[in-house]
Every structure is written in C-alpha cells, then in structure tokens.
Chains A and B, each alone.
Chain A
Amino acid sequence: MSIEYNPKYMKHFYDPVWENFEDGFWQGIKQRKLKFQKCSGCGTFSHPPRVRCPKCKGEGWEWVESSGKGRIYSWTVARQEVHPAFRVPFEIVLVEMENEPGVRLISNMVDCTPEEISFDMPVEVCFREVTKEWALPMFKKVGG
C-alpha cells in the first residue's frame, strides 16, 4: 500500500519551490537521484540544505549522491483527513540515512501498510512519479 492522491490537487501539492542554495537537491530529484549537501571543507552533511556549513562556516558544498539506504527513525500514520488531496490512512516516515551522518528525510513508504512499519526498520529509496514533471524520493522495505 502506498499514499494515494486526489489528482485535482496535484498542482497545489507537487510544485516545489526552492532557494538557490538548495538547487543541487532538486536538480538531483529531477534526474531521479537523491543528493545531499556535503561540506567540501570538513565533510559535514546537511539536509535540508543551507548557505554555510554549520561546523566550519565554509560555503563550499558538494552534492553527493546517496546510496539511498536508511532506517526508520520515526513515523506517523494519518488516519483522519488532513486535506482531500491525500486519502487516509497514509504513513509518513522520517528516515535516517545510513551513509550520510545527521541526514534525515521525510517521505512516504511505497510498499507496506502502516502496521508493518517499526523503529530502525531498514529501507531504501525509490522514485515514484507523482506528476508529469516530478518523481519524488520515497522508500521501500529492504529486500521488499
């Protein structure tokens, strides 16, 4: 099971906007690659992206492609309607990435019921097409 949308609202909810310093993330998404900001000075990862590295204050960033592997750090299940764009129930997961220290990502699962989700469950990224323009990073069970 996965999140289901009411197509009527797609444009409202699937038209991301971003700042110049986040461009690498969204350009990556367009190419179906999950990329995170890594400081070229001290190696610190940041998500969501920032202008300067919080550790060394450098502005030199690389956009590093993630292995996409992570574990469930937290989640919630929406059981009462939040907005008619999203059919309930659906789950939100907060995934802690395995190879990018300190990076977590909010997303949906594509292949399991809310009841199957547990803390520290291993997951990996996949891309799901939500509009003609956008495929978004979502997660599936490892080996699932």
Chain B
Amino acid sequence: MSLKNKACIVGIGSTEFTRNAGRSEIHLAVDAVTAACVDAGLEIDQIDGMSSYGTAGIYAAELAPDIDVARSLGIPNLRYFGQTPWGGGASCGVVAHAAMAVASGVANYVVCYRSLKPASGTVRYGRPTAIPAEYRYSYYMPYGFASPTMWVATMAKRWMHETGATREQLGYVALVSRENALRNPRAMFYGRPLTMEEYLHSPMSSDPFTLHDTCLENDGAVALIVTTPERARDLKQKPAFIAGVGFGTSYDSHSMTSFYRDSIGLPECTEAAREVFRMAELTQKDIDVAQLYDAFTATVPMQLETYGFCKYGEGGAFCQGGDRIRLGGELPINTSGGMLAEAYIHGMNMIAEGVRQVRGTSTSQVKDAQNVLVTGGLGVPTTALILTQGN
C-alpha cells in the first residue's frame, strides 16, 4: 500500500500579491479558495475537507482558521480538517495530509490554503514582540536573537565556513529568482531586475544576509484543491499527480534553532528527501524542475545538497554563475520567482507553481516537465512533494 498517485491537485487559486491587500486573512483565504474552485470546475459546496497551517508556536494564533474560512464560504460541512505545525515547513505536508484524506475516503475534495498579510497586518513574521510563552525561546530572546533571519544566518554562516560557499554564489540564487519573476506578471518583483553589483553592495541585515537574501514581505493567499484521480476526470484541469510525499524532523530538531547537532545543516531535508523519492520511485536525475523553499538564499544550495542533487559542500558551486539552476539549465528552480521574488505565501505559492509546471502553464515553463520536486520550509521540521504527470 502506497500513497503514490492516489491523489492529485486539480485546482489552484490565488489572490493578488501586494503590500496592502486591504482585507483580512479570512477574506483573502475565501478569495483564493473561490479562485481554486473556479480553476478546478468545482462548486464551493463540494469542498468537504480543509488542510491548513499557520505559525502557532512561533508567533500569534492562526488568523484564518478553517472554520472561519468555511463559514464565510458557506461550506455546509467539513468531513476532514487538519493543521500541520511548524510554519513554512508544513507547506508540502498540508498537501500530503489532504492526499491521505482523499485516498482513504475520509473526504472527497480537500482544499489546502495559506493566507497571510505580514506587509499590512498586525503579525509581521520577521518581528518579535517578547519572549513567547514557549519555554525554548528563553534561551534566545534575552540575547536579542529574535528573528528568523538571525536564526538562519547563524546556520548559514557556519555552513559557508565549512563548505567555502561565497556571497556571490548566494547572489546567483537571488538573481535567478529575479529573472524568473521578470517573466511572471503576478510576482511582487515583476519589472524589477536585480544585478550582482546591487546584490553585493546591499547593506547587511544580519551577517551574511542582506535584504536580497531574504524573502518578500507581502499580503496574499493561495489555495489548492486535492482529490482522487477518479474524481479528477470530471474536472476541468489536467491533474498534477502526487507521486510522493515526505516528512522529516531528523534528530534533535528545534524550531529554527537546531544548533546542537554534530554539524549544522538541514538533516530534516535528507530525511524528507529519502521518503519523497522512495514513494515516487524516482531519483534526483528524474526531476525536471524544482521549487526549493527559499525564505533565504543560502537554504537553496543547502537543499541542493540535502535533497541529493550534489554532495555536501558542492551546493555553492552548483549555483555559481546561475546556469545550472536557471531556465534551460540542468535543474531549473523556483520558476515563479519563488519567495525571494514572486511572493511569500509560506511555500503554498511554490506548490501552485509546481502544479503549473506539470500542466505546462508556467511563465517560465520547463519543456515537457514530467516530474517536479517541491520542498517545504527549512530550519524547522520539513516536508516535500513530487508532482508528476501520473504516467
């Protein structure tokens, strides 16, 4: 018994990505779910499951809870509802849970969504307010060690020291993302090119990161609809099959502060990679395009290593010059612009882009893309998906 190809993504929907959406998280979620239903050719009342995620345990309570979104949509009943923890690390797991729900018959049409407005709302994800009640923050907050950028910077700096990766190599991740965004009218950075000169001369926010190494801050929501292949036949779109799912925590996992392992890195990804490739019965060579969670530039080459596209210490060189990761290269990445240049929707927008690649409708389409790897957030327990044509 395997989950392979037992579920597929049949609808994707999104709001505009903006600095000020002018409406609440619940409203944004309602709009994205509606768009996903229209895309799929599904009536809203057919939705009978919701899989979502937030930042409980890191920041404030969830601001677009499933029952509030369902209530505003007028959905009569949710036969399945579930939340996945650990912020962006959950993104692909949210879809994995939806796949499990439809494959097991618990629900028929599960909507996955993420809605957030850090640009204009009350909860700004990069900003602390005080020591949260969770005990683990007492080891960090009193020292001013209080933002995701600082946490990941500390990890990335050690990784750069151990591997010899350079700022310029990280710069190519930012540049390639920006190139992709220039072809994507939805992207926050559409029409705003970036040069290596600008990248290298941008002031440090938290060493070794500048603003160009960290993701966007924007408002918006993205929703996806998951159902079974049988039901997908009656819907409008070519389905993106969920060939593999992977979860990983690895040993001594903390939320963004896993500083106590033999070697700082992303061992969660190594675990998630093993699971996702095993289920999909594919190898790294089979992947045509990857959407690698990019809240920070450095975690892209770190994932190239931990997802097995190169050896430890080679991720920086893989990105050098950008040719291997740009459109036409050996592993094009983050073809919508990713979270560095399209929008920060906690990875849900990167899954939507994975679906577009399978459909053949990306603004940076990889020719004949058969197999797409999508990954979840880093420095936290993480999740991954392989989306395919289902052949």
Q: Mark B227-262, 1 if CB is under 8 A from A, else 0.
A: 000000000000000000000000110100101101
Judging by beta carbons under 8 Å apart, are A48 and B136 in contact?
yes
Query: Which of A18, A74, A80, A83 gathers the greatest number of chain B CB atoms within 10 Å?
Result: A74
Instruction: Given A15-B131, A54-B251, answer yes or no on A108-B154 (Cβ-Cβ < 8 Å).
Output: no
Contact check: which of B131, B205, B207, B254 meets A16 at CB < 8 Å?
B131
Contact of B138 among A16, A77, A102, A104 (CB under 8 A): A16
Interface string of A99-121 (1 = CB under 8 A from B): 00011111110000010000100
**Interface residue range, chain A:** 35 or more
Given A92-B154, A104-B260: A74 touches B143 (CB 8 Å cut-off): no
Is A136 in contact with B142, judged by CB distance below 8 angstroms? Answer: yes
Tell me the complex Cα distance, A134–B138, Å. 12
Contact with A along B109-137 (1 / 0, CB 8 A): 00000000000000000011111011110
Query: Is B74 at the interface (CB under 8 A from chain A)?
Result: no
Cβ–Cβ contact A17 & B131, under 8 A = yes
The complex places the Cα of A75 from the Cα of B138 at a distance, in Å, of 18
A residues near B161, Cβ cutoff 8 Å: 74, 119
**Interface check A85, CB cutoff 8 A:** yes
CB-based contact B128/A103 at 8 Å:
no
| B206 with A14: CB separation less than 8 A | no
Cα distance, A17 to B262, chains bound together (Å) = 27
Flag B131-154 by CB within 8 Å of A: 1 or 0 each: 101111011111111110010011
Contact status of A92 and B150, CB under 8 A, knowing A54-B252, A74-B158: yes
Contact of B260 among A13, A18, A103 (CB under 8 A): A103
Nearest B residue to A18, CB-CB: B135
Q: Is the CB of A108 within 8 A of B144?
A: yes
A22 CA / B138 CA spacing, docked (Å): 11
B155 at the A interface (CB under 8 A):
yes
What CA separation (Å) do A12 and B222 show in the bound complex? Answer: 34
B137 CB to nearest A CB, Å: 8
Q: A3-B144, A54-B251 are in contact. Are A83 and B128 (CB under 8 A)?
A: yes
With beta carbons under 8 angstroms apart, the residue of B127, B154, B205, B254 that contacts A74 is: B154
Contact with A77, one of B130, B147, B206 (Cβ below 8 angstroms): B206
Interface centre among A78, A102, A104, by most chain B C-beta atoms within 10 angstroms, is A78
Docked CA distance A80–B118 (Å): 18
1/0 per residue A72-107: CB within 8 Å of B?
A: 011111111011011000101010000000111111
Asked if residues B260 and A82 are in contact (CB atoms below 8 Å), the reply is no
Are the CB atoms of B144 and A85 closer together than 8 Å?
Answer: yes
Q: Please state if A104 and B206 are interface contacts (CB–CB under 8 Å).
A: no
Q: How far is the CA of A5 from the CA of B143 in the complex (A)?
A: 10
B38 contacts chain A at the CB level, 8 A cutoff: no
Chain A residues whose CB sits within 8 angstroms of the CB of B143 once the complex forms: 3, 92, 106-108, 136, 138
Which residues on the B side are within 8 Å of A83 (C-beta)?
Answer: 127-129, 144, 146-147
At the interface, yes or no: B200 with Cβ under 8 Å from chain A?
no
Contact A16–B142 (Cβ < 8 Å): yes
Question: Within 8 Å CB of B138, what residues of A?
Answer: 16-18, 26
Min CB gap A28→B, angstroms: 13
Q: CB-CB contacts of A44-80 with B at 8 A, as 1s and 0s? A: 0001100000100000000000000000011111111
**Docked CA distance A9–B141 (Å):** 12
- Tell me, yes or no, whether A126 is within 8 Å of chain B by CB: no
Query: Shortest distance in angstroms between A127's beta carbon and chain B's nearest beta carbon?
Result: 13
Task: Tell me the complex Cα distance, A16–B254, Å.
Answer: 18
Given the known inter-chain contacts A92-B154, A106-B140, please indicate yes or no for A80 contacting B131, CB distance below 8 A.
no
Whether B203 is near chain A, meaning CB under 8 Å from some CB there, is yes
Contacts of A119 in B (CB 8 A): 161
Contact of B130 with A76 in the complex, beta carbons under 8 Å = no
| Cβ contacts A to B, 12 pairs, < 8 Å | A12-B129, A16-B138, A17-B134, A18-B135, A74-B158, A80-B204, A86-B146, A92-B144, A106-B139, A106-B145, A107-B143, A134-B142
The 7 A-B residue pairs with the shortest CB-CB distance in the complex, in nearest-first order = A16-B138, A86-B144, A12-B130, A74-B158, A76-B153, A77-B207, A80-B205
Given contact pairs A80-B205, A106-B257, a sample of 19 additional A-B residue pairs in the complex whose CB atoms are under 8 Å apart: A13-B141, A16-B142, A17-B133, A17-B135, A48-B139, A48-B260, A74-B157, A74-B158, A76-B153, A76-B208, A79-B204, A80-B204, A83-B128, A83-B146, A90-B144, A102-B262, A107-B143, A114-B207, A138-B143
